[in-house]
Amino acid sequence: MFPPDSDLSLLSEPHNRRAWLRRFALPALALASIPRAEAFEWQVVQEDGRDYVKLEDIKTFYKFPRLLREGRNAWLRSNTMIIKFSTSAEDIFINNVKFCLSFPTSEKNGSVLVSRVDLAKLLDPIIRPTYIENAQGFDTVVIDAGHGGHDSGAVGSYGAEKAYTLDTALRLEKKLKELGYKTLLTRRSDVFLTLGERVAIANRTPRSIFVSVHYNSYSSSSAIGLETFALAPQGTATTYDALKSSDMANRRGNARDSENIALATAVHANTLYKLRSVDRGVKRARYSVISGIEKPGILVEGGFVSSPSEGARIHRPDFRQSLAESIAGGIGNFRRALMKRSSVPQRSAP
């Protein structure tokens, strides 16, 4: 049960963002929302040919003490989590961290509706990672430095993505080893690897997760911020794209949907908190490295080399060190959340 509800000001005070991020990063979150023991009947609403559920049902199922509405916005609130929804929106905010939905929210008869896919593939693994079915323990992190060799990746005024990713990967390796993990780098020097070779390394490494490190670029130099990608669930579009027929295929990585989004959340939230980057969100993609792996995996875009300000920041070794340490911290939070599983009775996801 939740302690008494007391501090509504947290909903609107941005200076509390750090406190919320810190709490969000804590593994205690995993135990925050144990669902009811009695049977629960979800009321499914059809909109645009898809299944949706009402926020009122989500509130009841996960025992959020409060559901607040104000205009287009709605908030589910507990003592550890605030989820902000807006009607007809593609994004939600969990403890002020942005998540891109697979389908926009909707509204019917005064209730905000969330797609069943987003409930099962986004909200459930984040609200209660302890309930992720068949989650596998890991002791090894496969670190993939994006690009290399003739493939420079994005090139900014200060340097090339391939050099920054390799340096970040080596720093991440060092940090993870200090924390007791085994590590494997897909490349340790300025060489070219195909995406398939990177996937193969991940798939033959037992008890592992996969983290691909990249830096971004965009035609507008004003684009900045951190974005973290998890594989798009089967039958959903990649973030901000239209649905297409190839989205219907089941990819190997979809077997790990729940772990993928939980890992993305842990790394993204911890990195935002530590680096205070602009939050571009936890997004969905079908990049081959995260489509083809059989292990939980994510792709982190640590910032924009195309931005004069962020490019300068990325060029600084201390920034890349902080990024590496915050990714490592996020991995630790993910592992601790999963390890709580054994102490919680299991129940299937909605």
Question: Which residues of the chain form contacts with Zn ion (CB under 5 A)?
Answer: 146, 153, 214
The token pair at 321 is 């060190």
CB nearer to Zn ion: give 153 or 281.
153
Angstrom distances, CA of residue 4 to CA of 8, 69, 209, 263: 12, 20, 38, 30
Task: Kindly report each contact of residues 57-65 with a partner whose C-beta sits within 8 Å and lies 24 or more positions away, as own/partner.
Answer: 58/114, 58/119, 58/123, 60/36, 61/35, 61/36, 61/350, 62/33, 62/35, 62/127, 62/128, 63/1, 63/2, 63/33, 63/34, 63/35, 63/36, 64/33, 65/2, 65/5
Q: Which residues pair with 86 in a beta bridge?
A: 73
CA 163 centroid distance within chain? 25
Per the CB < 8 A criterion, the answer to whether 214 and 260 are in contact is no
Shortest Å, Cβ 290 to Zn ion: 13
* C-beta of residue 302 within 8 angstroms of C-beta of residue 254: no
Q: Whole-number minimum distance, CB 94 to Zn ion, in Å? A: 26
Q: Which is nearer to Zn ion, 198 or 335 (CB)?
A: 198
Q: Per the structure block, which two tokens stand in for 334?
A: 């993910």
| Minimal distance, residue 153 CB to Zn ion, in Å | 4
Alpha-carbon distance 15 to 226, whole Å?
A: 19
For the bound state, the minimum distance from the C-beta of residue 305 to Zn ion, rounded and expressed in Å, comes to 9
Nearer to Zn ion, 214 or 274 (CB): 214
Smallest distance, Zn ion to C-beta of residue 44, A: 39
Q: Report the residue number, 129 or 146, with the smaller CB distance to Zn ion.
A: 146
Closer to Zn ion by CB, 53 or 172: give it. Answer: 172
Residue whose CB is nearest to Zn ion in the complex, by number: 214
Between 91 and 144, CB nearer to Zn ion: 144
